[in-house]
Amino acid sequence: MSAARPQAMKLADYRQPDFLIPALFLDFELHDTQTRVTAVSKVRRQGTHSHPLILDGEKLQLVSVEINGETVSAQATEKGLCLENVPDEFELRIVTHIDPLNNTSLEGLYKSGSAFCTQCEAEGFRKITYFMDRPDVMAKYQVKITADRQTYPYLLSNGNKIGQGELPDGKHWVLWEDPFFKPCYLFALVAGDFDLLEDSFTTASGRQVALELFVDKGNLGRAGHAMASLKKAMLWDEQRYGLEYDLDIYMIVAVDFFNMGAMENKGLNVFNSKFVLADPASATDEDYFNIESVIAHEYFHNWTGNRVTCRDWFQLSLKEGLTVFRDQQFSADMADPAIVRIKQVQVMREHQFAEDAGPMVHPIRPAEVMEMNNFYSVTVYDKGAEVIRMLHTLLGETGFRQGMDLYIARHDGQAVTCDDFVQAMQDANGIDLTLFRRWYSQSGTPRVEVETLYDDKRQQFALTLRQHTPATADQQDKLPLHMPVAIELIDETGSQQHILSLTESSQRFELACKGEPTLAVLAGFSAPVKVDFAQDSQELLKTALYGQDDFLRWDAAQQLLSESIHASVTDANSSLPEAVLALFSGTLDVAAEKPALAAEMLALPSFETLAQQKPHIHVDSLLAARHSVKMQLAEAFAGQWKSLIKVAPDQSYAYQREQVQLRRLKAVCLTYLAELPDSEAILQQGYQHSDNMSDTLAILRACQSANHRLFEPLMQDFEQRWGQDSLVMDKWFALHGSRQHPNSLASLQLLTGHAMYSINNPNKVRALIGSFAFYNTAGFHAADGSGYRFVTDYLMKLDAVNPQVASRLITPMLGFSHLDSTRQDLIVQQLARLLNHEPLSRDLYEKVSKALHLATSTDKALN
Ligand code: TRP
Ligand code: ZN
C-alpha cells in the first residue's frame, strides 16, 4: 500500500461518459475456475472528442479484443483497458476468463455453495468483463448461459427467457433478453439446482406476472412468507404510488453467501437467505418482519432505482433513501406503525448519530469517495430516508405523491441526480426547496434547543427553537437547515398537535393555549436531530403516561430511564427516582391493553444509545449503572414480571399482530425476571414448552443478558437441536459473541473453529465477530485492549478474504472519540497496526486512514 495510496473521487469532477453502449450481448460458458465470458458491445462516441475508450476491469484474464471483427492488440492494466483511436461507432468483442470458485469477495461472479451467482452493485461488473462500469451507461442486454445440465438445471438472468437448447456433451443453454435499458450494476446471473416456489400476480391493469422463488433444496417449506410478502408489496405499490410491475416474470433467488441483505437486479433479485427463509420453529417475529420489509425494499427499487436510476454513485441516496422511506411506509401499514417508527429511530440514534460523530461522517450525498462500497451507510440509507420523510411531512401525502408522479414521469428511463428529485418535488408543489437542499450537502447531527414561556394573561404559549450543527470531521462550517418540528401540547383538557417549519438559526413561535401546557417535541421523530430541552421528570412522566403520540410517549419514557442511568453513573448508590417508579407502575397497569407500546416503554435504552447521549463516557461505569438500574427495576416490579409473562397468545404460532405484541411484551418482562434469584424454574419451563423460535430466543437472550446459570445448558441443548441448521446456528453464534462474560474472548476463539463456522460466510462472521465488536461492550472495550486486538487480528485475516465485510466490521473501532483517553490510545495503536498491514484493501484503507487522521487532529486540538 505504501507505494500507490488509493485516491478519492470527487462529485465535483463528474463528466458525462465519452462513449455510450446502447446494446450488450453476454455469453457465459460456466466453469468453476475458468468461466469464459464473451461480451459484444455496440459502442458509440458521445460528443466530439478524440479520447480513447477506457474500460474498467479487475481480476480478469484477457483472451482477445476485436473491433468490428478485427483483432486488436490491447494491454490490460490492474484497473482496465484503454483502446486508442477507436471509430465513432463500432462493435466491440471482448473475451475474458474469470475464476468464480476462488472469488471470496462475493463481488462479480462467484459460487455460493454449489450455485453460481453474481453481485454487481456498486462496481462489481468490472470483475466480470471489461466495461464502462458506471450507472449512466445504460444498455439493452441479451445474455446466453451455457452449463452442465445436471448440476445447473436452472440458468437465470434478467428479463424474459427467449430461447433454450440442449448440447451433446450434457450441457444446455438458455438465452435471456431484458427489454429495459439498464446500468450494468443491475445485471444478474444465477445458475444452480433449487427448489422452486411458483405463484402469480395480476397487476391493476390486468397483466399476469409469474412469480418464482428459488431456494436451496429442502427449503420449500420456509419460502411461503417471502412469497406472500412479495404479493403484498406489489399490491401496496400500486395502491399507494400507482406503480405497477413491468415484466412478465419476477424471480427471487436465496443464497447463503451474500455480502448484504439483498439486491434489486432487474427481474432477478438475489437475496441473502436470511431475508427469505422462515417458519415458526426456526424464525423469530423479527425475522418475519425483516423478510417482509427487505422483500418490499427490493421490489420497490424496480421503480425507484431501476426504471429511474442514479447518474453516478454520489447520488446513491436518490434510490436508497427513497426506497428505504417507501419500505418504511409499507412496514408501517403492515405492522404496528408506532413500533416500526421506534425501531427506525433506534437505528438512527444508535448507529447513524455514531457515524456522524466518527471519521466516516458524510452528507447523504457524499462529495468524496475512495471506495464506493463504504458508502452503503446508515447515513445514505437511513438518514437519507429521514430526509425524504421530512419532505413528505412538509408537503403532505398528496403533495408528496404529486412530486413522485412528476419525478417518475419526467425521468423514467434516465440516470439522474438527487437534485432532479428535489426539483420534481418543488415543481409539483410550487414551493421553494432551496434551503431544504442543504440536507444533501451538509453532514452531521443538528442540535435543536428548545426554550418555552407561557403568558398567563394572554393565554399564549411561546417557544423558541434554535438550531446549530456542530462541526464534523469532514466539514467545519454549517448552515441552518429547513426542518419540520412536530410538537404536542398536553394540558388538562387533552392535547394539540402542530408542525412548525424551522428555517432560521433561531425562531420564535406562539400558540394559543388555555393553561400552561406540557410540551413534547419531535413527534414521530419529525427531523433527524438531537433535541436539547431541559424538562423536569414530572413533565416527562406526564408525556409518557398521557401523551397522544405513541412515539413521544416512548421517547419521554426513554429520556426518564436514560437520565436515571446517567445519574447513577455519578452516584453509584442512587436509588431509582420516583418518576421512574411511577412510569413503570403506570405503564404496567395498561400493559395488557397496549402491549406493544408498553414493551418498548419498559425496555432499557441500549448501551449504544446511552453512549450517544454524552460527549464522553466511561464504559465500565455506564455499564454498571445500566445494570444497577435494571436490577432495581427487576426487584421493584418482581410480581408484575411474573404475572405478565403469562399473558401469552393462546393459539399456536402465527406471525400476526396481536400475537407479536404479546410475545414482545413477554420478552421484555423476561429480561427483568431473569435477574431475580428465583427465576430458574420459570425460564427452564419457558424454554421447554416453547413451540416457536421467538419465545425460545427470548428466554436465551434473557439468560444471556442476566448471566444466568441456565444459559450454558440451554445453549448446549439448542446446539443439539439446531446444530445442522445454518441460519438458526447464526442466532446461536450471535448469542455467544455478544455475551458479556469474563471468558468471552476465549470462547470466541474456540467458536471460530466450530464445524458450522466459516470466515468465508459473511452471515457467520457478522453473527459471531460482528456481535462481539458491536454489542459485547464489556468484551470489546476490555480495559487491557484485548478486545480491540482480537478484532484487529481478525480484520487482517478477513480483509484478504472479503474486504467489504471487513470494512463493515471495523465500524465499532471508529467510535473512539467519546471514550476515555486510555481506550482511545489502545484503539489508535491497533488502527496504526492495521494501516501498516500489507496488503490492505481500499475499503479498509479509507476508514483506517481517516480514523487515524481524526485521532491525531483531535489530539492536537486538545493539546
Ligand atoms: N442495492 C442493495 C439494496 O439496497 C444493496 C446491496 C446489495 C449492495 N448487495 C450489495 C451494496 C453489495 C453494495 C455491495 O437493496
Ligand atoms: Zn436498496
Closest atom of ligand 1 to CA, residue 804: 14
Residue nearest to atom 1 of ligand 1 (CA): 263
Task: Using the mean position of ligand 1's atoms as its centre, give its distance from the Cα of residue 826 in Å.
Answer: 33
- Is 18 within 8 Å of 49 (Cβ atoms)? yes
Q: Which CATH class is domain 723-863?
A: mainly alpha
Whole-number Å distance between alpha carbons of 16 and 85: 19
3-state SS, residue 480: coil
Task: Using the mean position of ligand 2's atoms as its centre, give its distance from the Cα of residue 248 in Å.
Answer: 22
The model's confidence at residue 861, banded by pLDDT at 50, 70 and 90, is low
Question: Helix-strand-coil percent breakdown of the chain, rounded to 5?
Answer: 45, 20, 35
All 3 cell numbers of residue 762? 459473511
Starting from the CA of residue 186, give the closest ligand: 1
599: enclosing H helix or E strand: helix 595-602
First to last CA, the chain: 31
- Residue 565 clears pLDDT 80, i.e. is over it: yes
**What pLDDT is recorded for position 4?**
67
Task: Using the mean position of ligand 2's atoms as its centre, give its distance from the Cα of residue 788 in Å.
Answer: 31
Task: Using the mean position of ligand 2's atoms as its centre, give its distance from the Cα of residue 102 in Å.
Answer: 27
Q: Which has the closest alpha carbon to 463: 476, 452, 477?
A: 452
How confident is the model over 475-510, as pLDDT tens digits?
A: 999 999 999 999 999 987 889 999 999 999 999 999
How many residues in total does the chain contain? Answer: 863
Q: Which residue in the block uniquely carries the three cell numbers 420497490? A: 300
Starting from the CA of residue 376, give the closest ligand: 1
Range with the poorest average pLDDT among 38-47, 181-190, 484-493, 717-726? 484-493
The model's confidence at residue 863, banded by pLDDT at 50, 70 and 90, is very low
Question: Which residues of the chain does CATH 2.60.40.1730 include?
Answer: 1-193
Whole-number Å distance between alpha carbons of 330 and 342: 15
Residue nearest to atom 14 of ligand 1 (CA): 121
- Is 135 within 8 Å of 183 (Cβ atoms)? yes
Starting from the CA of residue 185, give the closest ligand: 1
Whole-number Å distance between alpha carbons of 394 and 669: 39
3-state SS, residue 267: coil
Q: Which has the closest alpha carbon to 796: 768, 745, 763, 759?
A: 759
pTM: 0.98
Task: Using the mean position of ligand 1's atoms as its centre, give its distance from the Cα of residue 586 in Å.
Answer: 44
Q: Which has the closest alpha carbon to 562: 502, 515, 612, 495?
A: 612
Q: Which has the closest alpha carbon to 811: 841, 779, 772, 842?
A: 772
Task: Using the mean position of ligand 2's atoms as its centre, give its distance from the Cα of residue 261 in Å.
Answer: 9
Whole-number Å distance between alpha carbons of 449 and 465: 6
Please state the rounded mean pLDDT for residues 500-522. Answer: 96
- Residue 656 clears pLDDT 90, i.e. is over it: yes
**Which residues 6+ apart lie within 8 Å of 32 measured at CB?**
100, 101, 111
Closest atom of ligand 1 to CA, residue 258: 9
| Alpha carbon distances (Å) from 543 to 306, 390, 465, 555, 585 | 44, 23, 20, 9, 15
Q: Which has the closest alpha carbon to 21: 108, 119, 125, 92?
A: 92
How confident is the model over 54-103, as pLDDT tens digits?
A: 999 999 999 999 999 999 999 999 999 999 999 999 999 999 999 999 99
Closest atom of ligand 1 to CA, residue 107: 12
Indicate if the alpha-carbon torsion angle 93, 98, 100, 101 is positive or negative.
positive
**Which residues 6+ apart lie within 8 Å of 354 measured at CB?**
608, 611, 612, 815
Starting from the CA of residue 371, give the closest ligand: 1
Task: Using the mean position of ligand 2's atoms as its centre, give its distance from the Cα of residue 241 in Å.
Answer: 18
DSSP 16: -
Residue nearest to atom 2 of ligand 1 (CA): 263
Task: Using the mean position of ligand 1's atoms as its centre, give its distance from the Cα of residue 163 in Å.
Answer: 30
Task: Using the mean position of ligand 1's atoms as its centre, give its distance from the Cα of residue 121 in Å.
Answer: 6
Residue nearest to atom 6 of ligand 1 (CA): 263
Task: Using the mean position of ligand 1's atoms as its centre, give its distance from the Cα of residue 263 in Å.
Answer: 5
Residue nearest to atom 15 of ligand 1 (CA): 263
Backbone φ and ψ for 413, nearest 5 degrees, come out as: 85, 5
Whole-number Å distance between alpha carbons of 602 and 588: 8
How confident is the model over 745-798, as pLDDT tens digits?
A: 999 999 999 999 999 999 999 999 999 999 999 999 999 999 999 999 999 999
The residue whose CB lies within 8 Å of the most ligand 1 atoms, and thus the one to mutate among 103, 119, 263, 322, is 263
Residue nearest to atom 3 of ligand 1 (CA): 263
Starting from the CA of residue 319, give the closest ligand: 2
Q: DSSP secondary structure string, 445-476?
A: --EEEEEEEEETTTTEEEEEEEEE---BTTBS
Task: Using the mean position of ligand 2's atoms as its centre, give its distance from the Cα of residue 30 in Å.
Answer: 29
Provide the pairing of β-strand 249-255 with 160-166.
Answer: unpaired
3-state secondary structure 167-233: CCCCEEEEEEEEEEEEEHHHCCEEEECCEEEEEEEECCCCCEEEEEEEECCCCHHHCHHHHHHHHHH
Task: Using the mean position of ligand 2's atoms as its centre, give its distance from the Cα of residue 268 in Å.
Answer: 14
Q: Which residue in the block uniquely carries the three cell numbers 458525462? A: 16
Whole-number Å distance between alpha carbons of 303 and 321: 13
Whole-number Å distance between alpha carbons of 588 and 599: 9
The residue whose CB lies within 8 Å of the most ligand 1 atoms, and thus the one to mutate among 105, 258, 264, 376, is 376
| Alpha carbon distances (Å) from 514 to 288, 496, 508, 517 | 47, 11, 19, 8
Q: Which residue in the block uniquely carries the three cell numbers 402465527? A: 654
Starting from the CA of residue 320, give the closest ligand: 2
Starting from the CA of residue 805, give the closest ligand: 1
- Residue 862 clears pLDDT 70, i.e. is over it: no
3-state SS, residue 629: helix
**What pLDDT is recorded for position 860?**
55
Whole-number Å distance between alpha carbons of 521 and 519: 6
Please state the rounded mean pLDDT for residues 235-245. Answer: 99
- Is 785 within 8 Å of 826 (Cβ atoms)? yes
Q: DSSP secondary structure string, 531-594?
A: EE----HHHHHHHHHH-SSHHHHHHHHHHHHHHHHHHHHH-TTPPPPHHHHHHHHHHHHTTTTS
The residue whose CB lies within 8 Å of the most ligand 1 atoms, and thus the one to mutate among 112, 127, 259, 260, is 260
Please state the rounded mean pLDDT for residues 106-115. Answer: 98
Provide the pairing of β-strand 19-29 with 160-166.
Answer: unpaired
Greater confidence, 827 or 863? 827
- Is 574 within 8 Å of 621 (Cβ atoms)? no
All 3 cell numbers of residue 418? 438527487
Please state the rounded mean pLDDT for residues 659-688. Answer: 97
What dihedral do alpha carbons 217, 222, 228, 230 form, nearest 10°?
A: -60
Task: Using the mean position of ligand 2's atoms as its centre, give its distance from the Cα of residue 608 in Å.
Answer: 25
Closest atom of ligand 1 to CA, residue 261: 7
Whole-number Å distance between alpha carbons of 810 and 848: 9
DSSP 47: S
Closest atom of ligand 1 to CA, residue 305: 1
How confident is the model over 384-438, as pLDDT tens digits?
A: 999 999 999 999 999 999 999 999 999 999 999 999 999 999 999 999 999 999 9
Q: What is the mean pLDDT of the chain?
A: 97
Q: DSSP secondary structure string, 317-379?
A: HHHHHHHHHHHHHHHHHHS-HHHHHHHHHHHIIIIIHHHHTSTT---SS-SEES-GGGGSSHI
Pocket of ligand 1 (CB under 6 A): 119, 121-122, 259-260, 262-264, 297-298, 320, 373, 376
Starting from the CA of residue 261, give the closest ligand: 1
511: enclosing H helix or E strand: strand 506-512
Residue nearest to atom 11 of ligand 1 (CA): 121
Q: What percent of the chain has pLDDT over 70?
A: 99
All 3 cell numbers of residue 187? 445485471
The catalytic residue positions are 298
Give 254's strand partners: 271
Q: Which has the closest alpha carbon to 627: 642, 607, 600?
A: 607
Q: DSSP secondary structure string, 395-440?
A: HHHHHHHHHHHHHHHHHTT-EE-HHHHHHHHHHHHT---TTTTHHH
Question: Which residues of the chain does CATH 1.25.50.10 include?
Answer: 723-863
DSSP 131: B
3-state secondary structure 56-111: ECCCCEEEEEEECCEECCCCECCCEEEECCCCCEEEEEEEEEECHHHCCCCCEEEE
- Is 252 within 8 Å of 213 (Cβ atoms)? yes
DSSP 598: H
Backbone φ and ψ for 22, nearest 5 degrees, come out as: -75, -20
The residue whose CB lies within 8 Å of the most ligand 1 atoms, and thus the one to mutate among 106, 121, 268, is 121
Which amino acid is residue 271, in one-letter code? Answer: F
Closest atom of ligand 1 to CA, residue 301: 15
Task: Using the mean position of ligand 2's atoms as its centre, give its distance from the Cα of residue 805 in Å.
Answer: 17
**How many Cβ atoms are within 10 Å of 538's Cβ, its own excluded?**
11
The residue whose CB lies within 8 Å of the most ligand 1 atoms, and thus the one to mutate among 119, 186, 382, is 119
**What pLDDT is recorded for position 1?**
42
Q: Which has the closest alpha carbon to 538: 495, 580, 584, 600?
A: 580
The helix-helix angle for 578-589 and 550-570 (nearest 10°) equals 150
Closest atom of ligand 1 to CA, residue 373: 13
User: What is the fold, at CATH topology level, of the domain defined by 1-193?
Assistant: Immunoglobulin-like (2.60.40)
595: enclosing H helix or E strand: helix 595-602
